[in-house]
Amino acid sequence: MRREIPIIITFVVGIIFVLNQVTTGNIPGTAWTLREIVRSGLSPWTIIVAAFALGLASVNLLRIHGNIISRKRTGWVYSAILIVTMVFFGITRTMVELNPANRELAAFYGNFFNFLYAPLAGTMFALLAFYIASAAYRAFRLRSLEATILLVAAVIVMLGAAPAGALMWDYFPSLQRWLLSVPSLAGQRAIIIGAALGGFATSLRILLGLERGHLGGE
């Protein structure tokens, strides 16, 4: 029963959420609608589950990096910085939420967030640009017809977006817009449709109890 009960709950809740999108009337014999049940009875549980998931992830993070620090493994200093930062921001944000009228505390938290976290995040994304450039160089080598098409399209898009491209040839911006709005958009829609079908198939398997990986099964 330890697996049957979660499967039944998953099936019932999943069916309610699915029918909630396609029905508007009351449930037969009651004054309730599925939308009211989802809004008042099920939606708050998503917040509760998300909070527990966040708490579990935080505890797991502390356990893993605490073990790294205790064993003085390579890079343990970064683990210590991660834990101290997580605890500091967690405590500070909690105090801000519990004291909404304290503007000094909110400004203190905002200064750390805006002048410490935001610049570090921007630096991280800036460093990623070099890795992206390296990956693009390896991908754009003329080893096949597909790589050649990718290289030509990438060059046209970059030249069309740069002011120098329009000076070199007036049609570069037009070609860039066409590549982004026709071939690129068609490919993105195909990927989204494929992902949606895959998500639907996985959801259906979970609803029917065929997929039990979330229960610890195979």
pLDDT digits (tens, 9 = 90+) for 125-172: 888 878 887 877 777 676 778 878 888 888 888 888 888 888 888 888
Task: Quote the mean pLDDT of the chain.
Answer: 86
Domain assignment of residue 20, yes or no: yes
Mean pLDDT (whole number) for 19-42:
82
Domain assignment of residue 27, yes or no: yes
Domain assignment of residue 38, yes or no: yes
Domain assignment of residue 155, yes or no: no
* Confidence grade of residue 217 (pLDDT, cut at 50, 70, 90): low
pLDDT (tens digit, 9 = 90+) per residue, 68-97? 999 989 889 999 999 999 999 889 989 999
Domain assignment of residue 169, yes or no: no
pLDDT (0 to 100) of residue 18: 83
pLDDT (0 to 100) of residue 165: 85
In terms of residue numbers, what domain contains 30?
1-98
CA distance 72 to 76: 6
CA distance 2 to 11: 15
Record the tokens describing residue 36, joined without a space. 């009211």
Domain assignment of residue 178, yes or no: no
Domain assignment of residue 11, yes or no: yes
Classified as helix, coil or strand, 23 is coil
| Torsion sign, CA atoms 133, 134, 136, 141 | positive
CA distance 146 to 151: 9
Domain assignment of residue 211, yes or no: no
Q: Where are the alpha helices (DSSP H) in 71-116?
A: 76-98, 103-112
Query: Which 8-state DSSP code applies to residue 169?
Result: -
- The percentage of residues in the chain with a pLDDT greater than 90, rounded to a whole number, is 29
How many structural domains comprise the chain? 1
CA distance 142 to 137: 10
Record the tokens describing residue 116, joined without a space. 């410490």
